[in-house]
Structure 1
Amino acid sequence: MDTDVIVIGAGPTGLMLAAELRLGGANVTVFEKRAERSWESRGIGFTARATEIFHQRGLIDRLENTEIARQGHFGGIPIDYGILEGSHFGMRGVPQYKLEEMLEHWALELGVSLRRGHELTSLDDVGDGVSAIVQGPDGLSEYTAHYLVGCDGGASTVRKLAGFDFPGSDAMREMYLADVTGCDIKPRMIGELLPNGMVMSAPLEQGYFRIIVCENGVSPDKNRREVTFTDVADAWQRLTGDSIHGGSARWVSSFTDATRQVTEYRRGRVLIAGDAAHIHLPAGGQGLSIGVQDAVNLGWKLAATLKGWAPDDLLDTYHSERHPVGARVLRNTLAQGTLNLSGKSVEPLRTVMAEIFALPVAARHLSGMVSGFDIRYDMGEGHPLLGGRMADRELKLADGGTDQIARLLHGAKGVLITTSDEVSRLAAGWSDRVERVRVKSFPTGPEEGGTATESVLIRPDGYVAWAAPGAGDLTDALKRWFGAAKTSAVRVTEHTINVAAPAERVYALIADVSTWPTIFPPTVHAECVRRDGNAELIRLWATANGAAKSWTSRREHDPARMSVTFRQERSAHPVGGMGGEWIIEPISSSECRVRLLHDFFAATDDPADLEWISQAVDRNSMSELNALKTSMELTGPDQLITFDDTVTVEGRGKDVYDFLNEAQLWSQRLPHVARVSLQEETPGLQILEMDTSTKDGSVHTTRSVRVCQPDTTIVYKQIVLPALMTLHTGRWLIEERDGGGVSVTSRHTVKINTANIERVLGPDATVATAQDYVRKALSTNSMTTLRAAKAYAEGAGTRAAL
């Protein structure tokens, strides 16, 4: 298979699903027919439950200038959504294009492969996988995966090709929407009913207003190809009497009240989510929000199925849980359309409904419905929290620290929060899938209705799968949602070394992962994804027993103790889970002992996998400790040099990236490359082996691990080096330029192998001679590659026209 999962569509649902799958350890390729990310702001906010979901993945802080709208409406009738604790009408100030931009960056950080300009044309469920034919810039190509998920919108190609039944009602109304500027428009946040229809207007950023226009008696025009700003302005004037013709629109569109839902969310190896599964009248940001909830419900279940630990029917619960939720959204949007878009004939009904909605019990019911807070899945009975969403609360940990429930869910693993050591031990066999957190007491909230809570088991999507007291046996719940306990043995190792350097200096190096690629031979690239005080989330790319691997880890710094604990949040096969600690113990003011502890277990019960991990841990630990000792004890110059070569390109950064990424073609495209071999088992993580010719006719063989971040960066580290170098790391950097085009930089960091200078360059050569020689040789090859990439990118338009 080319990948584990193919996702069709890079809207909010598709990007969210792809990221969730990566958090679960699955490889994902997203195909999107649009060549560029859309700048249309179809949605301008999302519901309270979607807000919670983004918070549970640590994403809210990535959005700027957001605001919570407590006041909202149901069918145009005002309601205080804040009457339900924690609820609100939605988060505003987030146009859909900004949300998609944020989700795309997050998905790419996690290793999702996103291919724009690729449109699905056919698919075939072959029983043990799916074959998809995709039309891309270079023609038709076939891709295979274990599963395919359609997140490609209301006109879903996947839904049609896979034969999903899509019953419902046809459109009876057509409405216009536009983002306009340059005209005087008063806010109508929940809409204004007028004699001949309804209009709505809400301020956006940079002086723009979102307007919606619905004229009574206007049926959908199936023959019109597209809506123009004039169509919208004419309709606005007919309803309000005001002219906005003097303004302009950056985007116009139309939508209808067509209401349909597929009868099944899964057919064999093909699944669908978001608007591909259900369409309805937009109301309260529910469309985007329900799609995100579909993605979060499906992501961990599909990843668990692929990783082999899911119970037999886990994937089927995607349909059984989400189909009723979708059906209920269709009902409430139909009801809202009746109240808000039916003209004067429903005014008596609106008056009666307004009286009912003013009752707190009714307002709480509607707030829970529209916000998504009242969704409750079937987890059995016995405790008020069971089956419902777990609201964020501050936890007082047993060790004296504090944490938040939402933060514990960032990694999309199960979470067991308990006051009992015995309960925690019961879940030890699921520690690769469920994080165990000991607390002094479980904080109370309104959801319990006064019932005491001692322990809670939370699924990766934030819903409570078990709670004590009263919900039965914990192991039954663990097996139901997280499969069988692992019987693989946990192995514990410790490696130590004495370093003739102050402990504080050594601790500083261990604490700063950005330096690791130049210090530790196994480390190819390291990034601090997020830092909060002494806690951080890092992502590492490294070699293990010659194979390229990538994983994310959470680290906790203790400067006073000079220790750093770590725990892999998403491990790479065959590792089931791994953690440990760096401990630096002072011996004297100028010497310390470094201890590197690991605990780990395999993802399978195969003893060979555990042995493979043990060998990798032993090899990498001693390699890192020896490199640490060498670096810290170095007294003279470290022979490390860094230099750049740059060209400007009057073309697209994507074309430059494609040239650099497709290194398997370099022997045909670059004169100094005699032979090339490229392996890419994990998307974005490559092993590149090349024979490079020099001016004197000699050939050097190099082997590199490359970390590819689409359209912007390729980071690499040579693991088989020429004789004159003990280290060579590099980076291809593509940056947009003001006024168009891109600048492309080749950056090298090199350490000279002083032991080989005389053998390679002769008895009179010095370190400076070797540095100059290496710099000229690498720069010559870099500039040759950069010029070829420039020519390729600047000729892309000509190739496309042929």
Structure 2
Amino acid sequence: MNYQVAVVGGGPVGLWMAGELRRAGITVVVLESRTERDTRSRALTVHPRTIETFASRGVHEPFVREGMPLPGGHFGVLESKLDFGRLPSPFPHTLALPQERTEALLEQHARDLGAVVLRGHQVTGFIEGADEVAVHVTGPRGSSVLAATYLVGCDGARSTTRDTAGIDFPGTPATVLGWLGDVVLDQPPAPGFSHFGPEGLLMVVPMPGGIHRLVGITPRDLTTTWPGDLTLDELRENIIAITGTDLGMRDPIWLSRFGNATCLAARYRHGRVFLAGDAAHQHFPAGGVGMNVGIQDAANLAWKLAATLNGWAPDALLDTYHHERHPVGVRLTESSRAQVALMTAFTPEGLSLRGLFAQLISTLPDLNDALAAHVSSLDVTYPPADPDAHPLTGSRAPDLAIDDHQLYALLRVDGYLLLDLTHGQRLDRLARTGLRVRTGTLRRPPTGWTDISAALIRPDGHVAWASMDHDPTSLPDGLTATLATTHRT
């Protein structure tokens, strides 16, 4: 069987990738080694930028309906929580939603759009040719080979795709072992409970079905020696040491340990092979950002693959995936390491550092806003090649109100959107394959958008070009120059 894209891994990242490709008419197969969806939800948090991404395709409502909205997040589990309510987003909060449900919703969307999802199919390797990739698969009926024009590895930190492609995965080894337990609590603390002190760190997160997740670290967990699988007795001992009570814990659903090994793929692209999600970046799960950054990887890559396969963009556009997302991975790993330092600061000096940092967050709104935008990925900007580009270029576009429409409802994966705010200077004559035009007036323009005469919005919601020029002669020239780098002549 031949496909335009084969996706290795059927987690949230791979499933969003598949759905996006199908929205653009690309044939895609998802190869997932698990025969059933994992009921153990590693990820619980859906961040604002991810909800915005879902909203730009009109699929956000089930997530909003099922998820529990939480007003903020944290940085290093400091005592001062981050206030997400100040974020410039239509979704100024996180959603607590088990990964199992996120996967189920994304898989249903992908299947409804025509993606082929094959469970119980393990990719054992591949051979990259000049025009396609021969993917070797072991499934319920034995071994087979399928062909794809491009291969995307969304297969986790132990990625077969990355190893077979020979992409280096440098980083730092684990020095801390965190633990988690999904259990029933007969005496649960109030929602949003967290505790930090010399005896350890604990966060308690309510989950559907009467389950609570206990996540923590104790000073004895600052080790490179694996102590064995976590037991309920050990979890109970840790919780008592930190809180003075076991909170009435019983009936464990899942007990696990995890380390802070931190690695970043040296390249996100190798010829016809790409990496996304945990296959590209491994880190300590601080702030619940991992799945969300992976979905943004997919959002960045999918439209570029579709544009290339559909013929309206040159192959060079695919190189921008690494150039744009690798720096985000660098930032992710550095932020994770910084938070681990705060989460393991059990010494008197460390406690003083945490106290000072928490005080600054609570008294400096700009610091709160910067960290909240950082954690939620709302501040991700892709630096433009042109140093003279408008400052908005590369930034995430807010959900602009254009006459009676909202921007996110106008975005599509199969082409750019040109906002013509010149009141009839005929920018629509530049419409071409992959480019749609919306003429109108901005209502309540946000900061930075007041004097904008035109803007080109990418399928992933980032600004490709913006101008304050109202000259009907020169205005199209800048737009044409930008389009020349992303569109075939």
- AA matched with 2:468: P
Higher mean Cα deviation, 198-207 or 234-243? Answer: 234-243
1:355 counterpart letter in structure 2: Q
Going from structure 1 to structure 2, the CA distance change for 1:352 and 1:182 (only over 3 Å counts) comes to closer
Partner of 1:263: 266
Distance 2:110 2:337 in 1: 34
Aligned-partner Cα distance in 2 for 1:183–1:93: 21
1:353 aligned to 346, 357, 362, which one? 357
Specify whether residues 329 and 188 from structure 1 end up closer, same or farther in structure 2 by C-alpha distance, changes over 3 A only: farther
Q: What is the DSSP-based 3-state SS (H/G/I as helix, E as strand, rest coil) of the residue aligned with 1:133? A: strand
Q: Does 1:116 align with 2:115?
A: no
Q: What is the CA–CA distance in structure 2 between the aligned matches of 1:187 and 1:53, rounded to whole Å? A: 31
Q: 1:204 to 1:325 in 2, by over 3 A?
A: same
In the TM superposition, residue 208 of structure 1 has moved relative to its aligned partner by: 1.2
- Report deviation, 1:93: 2.8
Q: Which residue of 1 aligns with 2:472?
A: none
Q: Match for 2:356: what amino acid?
A: V
1:462 maps to: 461
Q: 1:89, 1:371 within 8 Å by CA — same for their partners in 2? A: no
- Cα deviation, 1:519-566, whole Å, max 9, x if unaligned, reads xxxxxxxxxxxxxxxxxxxxxxxxxxxxxxxxxxxxxxxxxxxxxxxx
Task: Count how many residue pairs are aligned between Structure 1 and Structure 2.
Answer: 474
- The 1-side partners of 2:194 and 2:126 are apart by 43
1:230 and 1:150, CA in 2 relative to 1: closer, same or farther beyond 3 A?
A: farther
The 5-angstrom pairing of residues 13-162 of structure 1 reads 13-63=13-63, 64-77=65-78, 78=80, 79-86=82-89, 90-162=93-165
Say whether the 8 Å CA contact 2:188–2:248 is kept in structure 1: no
The one-letter code matched in structure 1 to 2:401 is E
1:220–1:191 distance in 2 versus 1, CA, 3 Å: farther
Shift of 1:188: 6.5
Q: Secondary structure at the match of 1:301?
A: helix
Q: Identify the residue that residue 394 of structure 1 maps to in structure 2.
A: 401
Question: How far apart in 2 are the matches of 1:457 and 1:237?
Answer: 56
Stretch of structure 1 that moved more, 81-90 or 228-237? 81-90
**Counterpart residue number, 2:408:** 406
Alpha-carbon contact 2:20-2:303 (below 8 Å) kept: yes
* 2:124 alignment partner, SS class: strand
Mapped partners of 1:102, 1:277: distance in 2: 24
Contact persistence 2:416–2:457 (CA under 8 A):
yes
Distance 1:130 1:231, change over 3 A: farther
Change (3 A) 1:158 1:90: farther
CA distance change for structure 1 residues 21 and 189 in 2, over 3 Å: closer, same or farther? same
Instruction: Give, in angstroms, the shift of residue 9 of structure 1.
Output: 0.4
Task: Indicate which of 336, 349, 369 corresponds to 1:364.
Answer: 369
The 3-state SS of whatever aligns with 1:52 is helix
TM-score normalised by the chain length of structure 1? 0.57
CA distance in 2, matches of 1:69, 1:110: 31
Structure with larger Rg = 1
- The 8 Å contact of residues 89 and 399 in structure 2, kept in 1 or not, is answered as no
**Map of 1:327 onto structure 2:** 330
Matched residue SS, 1:217: helix
| Deviations, residues 485-504 of structure 1 (Å, cap 9, x unaligned) | xxxxxxxxxxxxxxxxxxxx
Q: What CA distance in whole angstroms lies between the structure 1 residues aligned with 2:163 and 2:107? A: 26
- Structure 1, unmatched stretches of 5+, are 397-401, 485-802
Counterparts of 2:198 and 2:468, CA distance in 1: 57
Aligned to 1:434: 435
Cα deviation for residue 279 of structure 1 reads 0.9
Provide the C-alpha distance between the structure 2 equivalents of 1:165 and 1:89, rounded to a whole number of angstroms: 37
**Alpha-carbon deviation of 1:117?**
0.4
**Cα drift, residue 410 of structure 1:** 4.5
Q: Name the SS of the counterpart of 2:168 in structure 1.
A: coil
Aligned residue in 2 for 1:418: 420
The AA in structure 2 aligned to 1:354 is A
Partner deviation per Cα, 1:207-231 (whole Å, 9 max, x = no partner)? 111110212132355474x444444
The answer (yes or no) to whether the contact 1:47–1:284 under 8 Å persists in 2 is: no
The Cα offsets for residues 241-269 of structure 1, whole Å up to 9 and x where unpaired, read as 32357511222222211111011101111
Alpha-carbon distance in 2 for matches of 1:477, 1:25: 25
* Aligned counterpart, 2:280: 277
Q: Which amino acid aligns with 1:33?
A: S
Alignment partner of 2:240 out of 224, 233, 237: 237
Task: Give the letter aligned to residue 356 of structure 1.
Answer: L
CA contact (8 A) 1:46 1:90 kept: no
Which structure is higher in RCO with an 8 Å CA cutoff and minimum separation 6? 2
Q: How many angstroms apart in 2 are the aligned matches of 1:211 and 1:238? A: 14
Task: Letter of the 2:74 partner, please give it.
Answer: H
- Taking only the aligned residue pairs, the percentage that are identical comes to 37
Out of 186, 198, 212, the residue aligned to residue 209 of structure 1 is 212
Question: What is the CA-CA distance between 1:447 and the residue it aligns to?
Answer: 3.6
CA shift for structure 1 position 37: 1.4
Q: Is the 8 A contact 2:268 2:321 kept in 1?
A: yes
TM-score, structure 2 length as denominator? Answer: 0.91
SS of the equivalent of 1:131 reads strand
Give the SS at the match of 2:215.
strand
- C-alpha distance in 2, partners of 1:239/1:425? 64
> How far, CA to CA, are the matches of 1:227 and 1:354 in structure 2?
31
Q: Given the superposition, is the C-alpha separation of residues 223 and 237 from structure 1 closer, same or farther in structure 2, using an over 3 Å criterion? A: closer
Segments of 5+ residues of structure 2 without an aligned counterpart are 470-474
Question: 2:51 touches 2:91 (CA, 8 Å); kept in 1?
Answer: no
Change (3 A) 1:415 1:274: same
Work out the CA distance in 1 between the residues paired with 2:316 and 2:249: 59
